[in-house]
């Protein structure tokens, strides 16, 4: 059987656009002499449309979209992902389904069995799990057709009582096909490969695994679709973070030549590609073209500036320098040099007079009180106000420049430097931001070395350094990683050799600032526990007191 893997970038809810994209690939596959084209999970509507699924009008339009696609299946089969109605008298109203289209008809419908309700997933909110198992036969080939999570119950930890392939293998299939919506995280790529390889080895069957690419606001899909032979060798591996098309001439019982992708699975390279795609897709799918950001001459805004230019083009990214009386001359010079290196427009708008006016206005209210973080926050909020005003006037989206370390401990100002439509590095710890800067500079100096080498500072008072309020980021990030990613309590972290007073202080800061993160811009997710969608904690709690 000649099988085409179509790894595409879908837009949630754009049924006509998604179908048109699939039709173009069906036509290409037909010209290439393919027998079967395979698309990814919920490809008709985009994965996952969340509460859009509660609207009958939406589900009915998905059905209409499948009918439009069927008109192009006269000469080859198509496997597509779509929500379908549950016709039983019990259970959830929908199934997460895969359908085989051929000869302008729906030849088979298979429902997803294992519905993840962990991490970012909440599929049981919408779908009824499958409980019956049958093979799909096409052109004499018996296919074990599964959907994403259905192949994730083979290895530890075992999350479900049922393993679909254990049931399907009893029916003697010739091949496994899995359509997937598997999002990216930097600790997930190898795990996913290993799980798919283990499926092929365990069941001694070749596996066609089809993922998607693209960003749906904060969730990023990396692709990496595969064809794995019955011995568990990856024979074909599609590109990461790019649409891809792969033709597989597979025959039952014959070895397939190794055309696997020689791809360096380096975290920072994949993270870079993920963030660039995430920024680009957010703007493209939202219908925006232009971005602006506050450029401080610091490492975070520099990395955001460089990523945005790569994603959107230099002419579409404006860096706004917002110096105060506390801003060093070097910071302004460095931010200017960065903009020149990137060849992007920049503006210098001083906030000094604005801050002075606010402070004079508040002077009667604050009489007799010493200056503190309040005055520092006035500066941050003045910058936020100006950025949002320019966003409104020029139709640009503000990119937030906060990193995960600062966001974790509340070292960011609500309605100030936390403003923006998208947080592109909000899931990168500070030390990862430095690593990203060095990666951006891998071929030439884009981010000035002066920015990379200077001590981090918000410059909200004279000679201020981040280290005045926080432990060095090398230490802070280690503690945060143990608390957030490893989910260790403070006692366990102390047992690893960290100083108790510092650990307890950091843990309390993380807990106390949950309310701030609740109001933050959506964060591009590159780890399993990104703030917002990945790590969900109560705003009011007393656990680590």
Give the domain-ending residue among 211, 245, 265: 265
Query: Which one is catalytic: 41, 123, 149, 237?
Result: 41
Range of weakest confidence among 93-102, 105-114, 118-127: 118-127
Nearest CA-CA partner of 400 in 77, 414, 107: 414
Distance between CA 336 and CA 293 in Å, rounded? Answer: 13
**Whether residue 246 is found in the same domain as residue 278:** no
pLDDT tens, 303-314? 999 999 999 999
pLDDT class of 42 with cuts at 50, 70, 90? very high
pLDDT tens, 173-195? 999 999 999 999 998 899 999 99
Quick one: average pLDDT of 386-407?
A: 96
Say whether pLDDT at 149 is over 80: yes
In a domain, 527, yes or no: no
**Whether residue 279 is found in the same domain as residue 352:** yes
Say whether pLDDT at 237 is over 90: yes
| pLDDT (0 to 100) of residue 267 | 87
Stronger pLDDT, 262 or 199, i.e. the higher one? 199
Say whether pLDDT at 336 is over 80: yes
Q: Which residues contact 167 (CB under 8 A, 6 or more apart)?
A: 133
| pLDDT (0 to 100) of residue 262 | 55
**Whether residue 459 is found in the same domain as residue 363:** yes
Say whether pLDDT at 114 is over 60: yes
| pLDDT (0 to 100) of residue 438 | 97
Quick one: average pLDDT of 237-242?
A: 96
pLDDT class of 532 with cuts at 50, 70, 90? confident
**Whether residue 253 is found in the same domain as residue 391:** no
**Whether residue 36 is found in the same domain as residue 82:** yes
Helix, coil or strand: residue 222: strand
Cut 0.85: pTM above it:
yes
CA distances from 294 to 118, 156, 311, 373, 457 (A): 36, 45, 17, 20, 15
Quick one: average pLDDT of 420-430?
A: 96
| pLDDT (0 to 100) of residue 5 | 98
pLDDT class of 542 with cuts at 50, 70, 90? confident
Cis peptide before 48 (omega within 30 of 0): yes
Quick one: average pLDDT of 387-402?
A: 96
* CATH code: domain of residue 462: 3.40.50.620
| pLDDT (0 to 100) of residue 97 | 98
Say whether pLDDT at 289 is over 90: yes
% of the chain surpassing 90 pLDDT: 87
Query: Which one is catalytic: 148, 239, 404, 459?
Result: 148
Say whether pLDDT at 148 is over 80: yes
Quick one: average pLDDT of 112-116?
A: 97
| pLDDT (0 to 100) of residue 261 | 56
**Whether residue 255 is found in the same domain as residue 274:** no
Total domain count, the chain = 2
pLDDT tens, 64-82? 999 999 999 999 999 999 9
Quick one: average pLDDT of 403-413?
A: 94
Say whether pLDDT at 483 is over 80: yes
**Whether residue 155 is found in the same domain as residue 298:** no
Q: Which residues contact 295 (CB under 8 A, 6 or more apart)?
A: 301, 302, 305, 319, 320, 321, 335, 338, 339, 346
**Whether residue 17 is found in the same domain as residue 94:** yes
In a domain, 170, yes or no: yes
Nearest CA-CA partner of 377 in 352, 357, 355: 355
Distance between CA 123 and CA 152 in Å, rounded? Answer: 15
Distance between CA 511 and CA 500 in Å, rounded? Answer: 16
| pLDDT (0 to 100) of residue 461 | 67
Query: Which one is catalytic: 112, 285, 404, 430?
Result: 112
In a domain, 543, yes or no: no
Give the domain-ending residue among 215, 242, 265: 265
Q: How far is CA 545 from the centre of its chain?
A: 33
Domain that holds residue 412: 270-469
In a domain, 227, yes or no: yes
In a domain, 492, yes or no: no
| pLDDT (0 to 100) of residue 259 | 64
Quick one: average pLDDT of 221-239?
A: 96
Tokens of 130: 């499958």
Please give the mean pLDDT across all residues of the chain: 94
Active site residue 148: yes
Quick one: average pLDDT of 348-376?
A: 95
pLDDT class of 458 with cuts at 50, 70, 90? low
pLDDT class of 260 with cuts at 50, 70, 90? low
**Whether residue 281 is found in the same domain as residue 402:** yes
**Whether residue 34 is found in the same domain as residue 96:** yes
Beta carbons of 174 and 252 less than 8 angstroms apart: yes
| pLDDT (0 to 100) of residue 157 | 80
Give the domain-ending residue among 265, 284, 308: 265
In a domain, 528, yes or no: no
Instruction: Compute the chain's Rg from CA coordinates.
Output: 26
**Whether residue 238 is found in the same domain as residue 295:** no
In a domain, 210, yes or no: yes
pLDDT tens, 496-517? 999 999 999 999 999 999 999 9
pLDDT class of 35 with cuts at 50, 70, 90? very high
In a domain, 498, yes or no: no
**Whether residue 240 is found in the same domain as residue 137:** yes
Quick one: average pLDDT of 256-282?
A: 81
| pLDDT (0 to 100) of residue 545 | 60
| pLDDT (0 to 100) of residue 71 | 97
């Amino acid at each position: 059987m000649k099988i085409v893997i179509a790894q595409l970038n879908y837009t949630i809810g754009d049924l006509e656009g998604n179908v048109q994209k699939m039709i173009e690939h069906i036509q290409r596959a037909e010209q290439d002499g393919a027998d079967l084209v395979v698309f990814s999970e919920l490809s008709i509507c985009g994965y996952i449309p969340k509460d859009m699924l509660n609207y009958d009008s939406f589900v009915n339009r998905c059905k209409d979209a499948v009918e439009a696609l069927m008109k192009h299946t006269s000469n080859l089969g198509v496997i597509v992902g779509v929500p379908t109605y549950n016709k039983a008298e019990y259970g959830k109203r929908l199934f997460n389904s895969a359908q085989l289209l051929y000869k302008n008809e729906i030849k088979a419908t298979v429902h997803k069995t294992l519905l993840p309700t962990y991490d970012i997933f909440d599929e049981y909110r919408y779908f009824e799990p499958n409980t019956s198992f049958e093979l799909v036969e096409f052109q004499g080939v018996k296919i074990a057709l599964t959907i994403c999570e259905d192949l994730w119950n083979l290895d530890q930890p075992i999350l479900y009582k049922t393993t679909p392939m254990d049931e399907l293998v009893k029916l003697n299939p010739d091949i496994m096909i899995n359509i997937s919506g598997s999002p990216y995280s930097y600790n997930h790529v190898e795990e996913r490969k290993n799980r798919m390889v283990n499926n092929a080895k365990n069941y001694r069957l070749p596996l066609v695994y089809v993922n998607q690419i693209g960003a749906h606001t904060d969730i990023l899909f990396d692709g990496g679709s595969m064809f794995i032979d019955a011995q568990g060798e990856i024979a074909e591996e599609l590109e990461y973070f790019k649409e891809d098309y792969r033709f597989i001439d597979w025959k039952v019982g014959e070895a397939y030549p190794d055309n696997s992708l020689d791809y360096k699975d380096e975290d920072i390279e994949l993270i870079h590609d993920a963030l660039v795609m995430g920024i680009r897709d957010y703007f493209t799918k939202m219908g925006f073209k232009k971005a602006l950001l506050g450029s401080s001459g610091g490492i975070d805004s520099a990395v955001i500036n460089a990523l945005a230019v790569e994603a959107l083009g230099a002419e579409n990214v404006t860096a706004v320098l917002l110096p105060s009386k506390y801003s060093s001359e070097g910071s302004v010079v460095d931010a200017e040099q960065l903009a020149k290196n990137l060849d992007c427009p920049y503006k210098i708008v001083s906030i000094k007079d604005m801050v002075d006016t606010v402070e004079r206005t508040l002077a009667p209210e604050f009489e007799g009180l010493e200056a503190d973080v309040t005055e520092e926050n006035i500066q941050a909020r003045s910058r936020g106000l100006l950025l949002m005003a320019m966003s409104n006037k020029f139709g640009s989206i503000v990119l937030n420049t906060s990193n995960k370390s600062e966001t974790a401990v509340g070292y960011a100002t609500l309605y100030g430097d936390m403003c923006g439509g998208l947080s592109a590095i909000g899931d990168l710890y500070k030390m990862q931001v430095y690593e990203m800067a060095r990666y951006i500079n891998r071929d030439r100096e884009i981010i000035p070395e002066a920015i990379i080498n200077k001590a981090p500072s918000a410059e909200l008072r004279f000679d201020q350094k981040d280290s005045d309020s926080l432990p060095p980021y090398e230490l802070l990030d280690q503690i945060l990683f143990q608390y957030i990613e490893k989910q260790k309590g403070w006692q366990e972290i102390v047992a690893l050799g960290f100083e108790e007073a510092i650990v307890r202080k950091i843990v309390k800061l993380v807990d106390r600032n949950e309310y701030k993160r609740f109001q933050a811009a959506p964060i591009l997710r590159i780890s399993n526990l990104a703030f917002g969608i990945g790590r969900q904690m109560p705003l009011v709690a007393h656990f680590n007191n």
